[in-house]
Amino acid sequence: MRRILFVCLSGLASAGFSHSQEKEPEPVSEPEMTSERIRLSYVDPARCSQLLKLYGVNVGAPDAPVDPSKLPVVVPLPTTKFHETVPDHEKVFPQTEVDPINELLLFYDPTLPEAAGRIRRIIKEQVDLPARKIMIEAMVLEISSQSLEELGVQWDFNRGRDTISSANFVNSRLDGSNPNGTLKLGSIAYPADVDAQLDATVTNVFAEFNVRLKALVQDGSAQVLSRPSVLTLDNRMAYINVSEKIPIANTKFVKDYVSAVDFREVMAGIELAVRPRINQDGTEVSLQINASVSAPVPGKDQVVRGMSDVVLATAPTLSIREVKTYARIANDTPFIVGGLIAKDSEQVLKKVPILGEIPLLGALFRSKNEKGQKREVIIVITPSVLPDESPSHEAMPKDEDLFDRFGHRLFRDAYRIRSEDTFDLRYLTENKGLRRLQEVADRIVTDHRQLENSYPYENFAKGAVPGEGALVRRQIYEVLKRQDAAKVLDREKLIFFRRDEALGSGFKVRFLADYLKQEAPFVLTEKGDGRAVGLCFRMTRDAMGAE
């Protein structure tokens, strides 16, 4: 019995199950950690971090160390007061920082690049997205009421609790002759404490509006006061101010009839604040509009006089016409704000000197003429949603020679590329096979950043096209040829490389003019004898350069 027990214990000991010697567990190594900066183009880092939490991404704090067991971790870079420092003119420059802002720090395990790639895709495709662009064009006109009726810019509807009995807008276009012109009226809300509100959508009723308006301007019945335009983003306010500052003198009296004069300024002109909001498919735009037109009233300045009828100060009387409203209109459709009416009256007194001032009888020797004019200001606002794919839109200037710059001594020549200078590359940009390869390359590069600049991914990632360098060089060549840029080159300073025959390797630098004088002098003549010299370069796999 003892022998059997001894044999069993010996077998357990040899198998490593000895109760006296236990094997120690191997220590668990922490995962490797690396980091990279992610530049945010549109969204704020703090808001981006909040959105990443919704996707289950671990977000760290700038003042706490990163836990390697929770990788990947995103940390927004903190901002400092020195990023927003703007010095005053009369003060010294304060301390500032010029490092990049609006960035995130991404900590991840390099052995698991797919986890970091998921975060990059979420930021690129779901979080860091640009707002849509919209062009706001405004036109402020001053027009007589009679001429305004010719345009049909008139809202006429009878209010009812549930129905609208009649509605007219551009009457000549809504009488049934234009089936494409429609005016859709929605419900009218009647809260207890506010006026009725009309929900209207206007489409295709301005086919002849611009034509009629130009005719009125040419006839002198309408005057364009201002025609500003501004490019803004979706749900961002655009502010246009075309005004002048009118100084007003303030006189203050102190002891012994001594006066002190200072000035204050009032603004008179056109102010327009518009906040657009684009619907999902870009076919409609909701507008929040605040428009104001102010101008001095002629002949109604307030005059302050002192002793001996001395004018001490004057202040103009301002006519202010302001409107605040909400509207929802179709894209590229003018929206008209009317009803800003002003009445000007002018009195002209004519009299015979001395006789016209006689009491009672003086009325026979003087006359009074009073003229009145009724003017109305209308504001035409046209929103235009710009496409995100194409960089060309209404905000870009025309192709004019004014943007070119040649012949300067201190600055380089500049030429603005025109539409006729570029090739039609839609056969590449719209190629489904190429776009599919670009999407695959983007996905691979997002997960494996080390492949971003390696072949063949560099030829497809980030919208790249294989051979695009050759296309660009060809376009530049066509521009230079069209501009005859070769005439400004000094052929005496042109050089080229030629293989060193004496050494059997390497290259020698030679001037092209000297070579042509020696080998092909006919090229330097005006006729050229119908012959030319060609310089050929070739790359060899066993050489470090060209020969």
Q: Are 155 and 169 in contact (CB under 8 A)?
A: yes
| pLDDT number for residue 325 | 85
Cβ burial, residue 332 (10 Å; 0-12/13-18/19+)? middle
| pLDDT number for residue 163 | 36
User: What number is the average pLDDT over the span 242-257?
Assistant: 75
In order of 168, 170, 177, the CA distances from 173 in angstroms are 10, 6, 7
Give the H/E segment covering residue 87: none
Query: Bigger pLDDT: 472 or 343?
Result: 472
- What angle is formed at CA 32 by the lines to CA 127 and CA 52, rounded to 5 degrees? 15
DSSP output for 285-312: EEEEEEEEEEEEPTT--EEEE-GGG-EE
| pLDDT number for residue 547 | 44
Most confident of 253-257, 407-411, 427-431: 427-431
Least confident of 109-113, 205-209, 391-395: 205-209
Q: How does DSSP classify residue 55?
A: T
Mean pLDDT, the chain, rounded, equals 73
Query: Bigger pLDDT: 36 or 532?
Result: 36
Query: Bigger pLDDT: 348 or 472?
Result: 472
Residue 366 and residue 463: Cα distance in Å, rounded? 83
**Res 180 pLDDT > 70:** no
| pLDDT number for residue 507 | 77
**Res 166 pLDDT > 70:** no
User: What number is the average pLDDT over the span 517-538?
Assistant: 73
Can you give the length of the chain in residues? 547
Angle between helices 113-122 and 432-447 (to 10 degrees): 120
Query: Percentage of residues in the chain with pLDDT exceeding 90?
Result: 13
**Res 196 pLDDT > 50:** no
Give the H/E segment covering residue 11: helix 2-14
| pLDDT number for residue 17 | 43
**Res 432 pLDDT > 80:** yes
> Quick count: other Cβ atoms within 10 Å of Cβ 167?
14
What pTM was computed for the model?
A: 0.61
Query: Bigger pLDDT: 401 or 75?
Result: 75
Query: Bigger pLDDT: 13 or 513?
Result: 513
Residue 63, Ramachandran bin (φ over 0: left; ψ between -120 and 50: alpha; else beta): alpha
Give the H/E segment covering residue 142: strand 133-144
| pLDDT number for residue 157 | 38
Domains of the chain: 34-83+95-127 (3.30.1370), 137-385 (no CATH), 398-483 (no CATH), 489-547 (no CATH)
Q: How confident is the model at residue 258 (pLDDT cuts 50, 70, 90)?
A: low
Q: How confident is the model at residue 373 (pLDDT cuts 50, 70, 90)?
A: low
Give the H/E segment covering residue 377: strand 366-385
| pLDDT number for residue 27 | 55
| pLDDT number for residue 161 | 38
| pLDDT number for residue 144 | 65
Least confident of 190-204, 297-311, 377-391, 421-435: 190-204
Least confident of 22-31, 148-157, 432-441: 148-157
**Res 246 pLDDT > 90:** no
DSSP output for 232-283: EETT--EEEEEEEEEEEEEEEE-GGG-EEEEEEEEEEEEEEEEEEEE-TTSS
Show the tokens assigned to 484.
């005859």
User: What number is the average pLDDT over the span 296-314?
Assistant: 73
User: What number is the average pLDDT over the span 86-115?
Assistant: 78
**Res 257 pLDDT > 90:** no
| pLDDT number for residue 186 | 36
**Res 527 pLDDT > 60:** yes
Least confident of 13-27, 102-116, 361-375: 13-27
User: What number is the average pLDDT over the span 164-180?
Assistant: 38
User: What number is the average pLDDT over the span 335-351?
Assistant: 67
| pLDDT number for residue 60 | 92
| pLDDT number for residue 82 | 67
Spacing of C-alpha 61 from chain mean position:
33
User: What number is the average pLDDT over the span 85-108?
Assistant: 74
Q: How confident is the model at residue 219 (pLDDT cuts 50, 70, 90)?
A: low
| pLDDT number for residue 8 | 43
Residue 426 and residue 459: Cα distance in Å, rounded? 18
Q: How confident is the model at residue 78 (pLDDT cuts 50, 70, 90)?
A: confident
Instruction: Summarize pLDDT for 35-55 with one digit per residue, the tens.
Output: 999 999 999 899 999 999 999
Query: Bigger pLDDT: 404 or 235?
Result: 235
Spell out the alpha helix ranges (H) of 372-499: 426-429, 432-447, 468-482
CB neighbours of 66 closer than 8 A, spacing ≥ 6?
Answer: 33, 60, 73, 75, 107
**Res 408 pLDDT > 50:** yes
